[in-house]
Amino acid sequence: MKSVYVPGHKVEAPCERCGRFVPATFRYDSFSLDDGTLVRDVMLARCDVCNSALAVAQQSAHAIKAARAAREAEGKKRTTLRLPRPLYDFAANETSKVGTAREPVSLLLKAFLATLIDDPDRIERVARRLPHVEDPVLLQPCDVSIPLYLSEGLLAVVHTLRRRAKMKSTSEVLRRVLVLAEGDRKVDRQLKMLLSCA
Amino acid sequence: MGFRETRAAILKAIDEGRVAHELRTVQSEKNLLAAEEISLARARQLILRARGNQAASAPHHLSPAVTVWILRPKESGVTWYIKCYLRGADLIFISFHPEEVQP
């Protein structure tokens, strides 16, 4: 087959330990991601001189993806968010503008929360606004229930917002965050970026 | 080799499946292609979008004889950062990710 590397294929790859480009040979092997996650049975090129792992073939990308997904599934917390139907429709409209209909509320929330990571000033501004957010949509009954999976990092942002806004309900924080997402250009850009990676 | 010839060679390597990734950047998660966060077909599309004024080259830090190419194609307001080089018919990626969003 021409479209995949087979064991024994030779490439020239940079070896930091040898300090130069070296001949390397592909074979099925394992390596660890930086968090220690072991990825098994990948087509890996090792240095012919010092045996360092140097390169991984594109054909093994699925194995890296699966290993990362397993790691993330362990690290994500599931929560249930209840929200008014019009607010759900708003999220669906926003995400459809950028070309997706999948998990609109989750996606919009992640986009918003991602804009707050490493931006303490923006977190402060949003936290100050949250208690004062008023919109007729927030007075509607919360008749839609969705599962929400957030990473530890995004959950930490939510908890920071809730604490600084002196609000009791995490769900109320998230509903108001969705209202604040309307017309926010940073969120639009983040949404596009998230989708570009999909 | 100029940009157009290099891009053609990159696309040929992709079409022939001769694509690999430097392991150190697979681990740093700066390479979305290596983890199948984007598909090879999508990567091809993005590389095809790159224009000459969105490309730059520099020698590899371990060998001045190896030319590393940096492509910055734009799509839907997002600029991508693609760093790779060719060794013979093999294409090796160092990075493949969107650039940081600027405020």
Contact A53 B23 (CB under 8 A): yes
Give, as one character, the DSSP assignment of residue B31.
B
Query: Predicted ipTM?
Result: 0.89
CA A169 to chain centre: 24
At position B63, the amino acid (one-letter code) is: S
Contact B62 A193 (CB under 8 A): no
CB A22 within 8 A of CB A13: yes
Measure CB to CB from residue A11 to each of B20, B28, B33 and give the nearest one: B20
pTM to 2 decimal places: 0.60
| pLDDT of res. A74 | 66
Question: Residues B28-71: pLDDT tens digits?
Answer: 568 889 888 888 999 999 999 999 999 999 999 999 999 999 99
Q: Which of B62, B72, B74, B100 to mutate to test the interface with A (most CBs of A within 10 A)?
A: B62
| Beta-sheet strands, E only, within chain B | 19-22, 55-60, 63-71, 74-75, 78-87, 90-98
Mean pLDDT for the stretch of residues A37-60: 91
CB A94 within 8 A of CB A69: no
Contact A21 B88 (CB under 8 A): no
- Under 8 Å CB pairs connecting chains A and B tally to 106
Give, as one character, the DSSP assignment of residue B76.
T
Kindly tell me if the per-residue pLDDT of A121 is higher than 60.
yes
Q: Could you give the CA distance from residue A191 to residue A93 in angstroms, rounded to a whole number?
A: 13
Q: At which residue do the structure tokens 């049975």 appear?
A: A41
Nearest to A112 by CA among A73, A157, A46: A157
- Coil, helix or strand at residue A19: coil
Contact A2 B26 (CB under 8 A): no
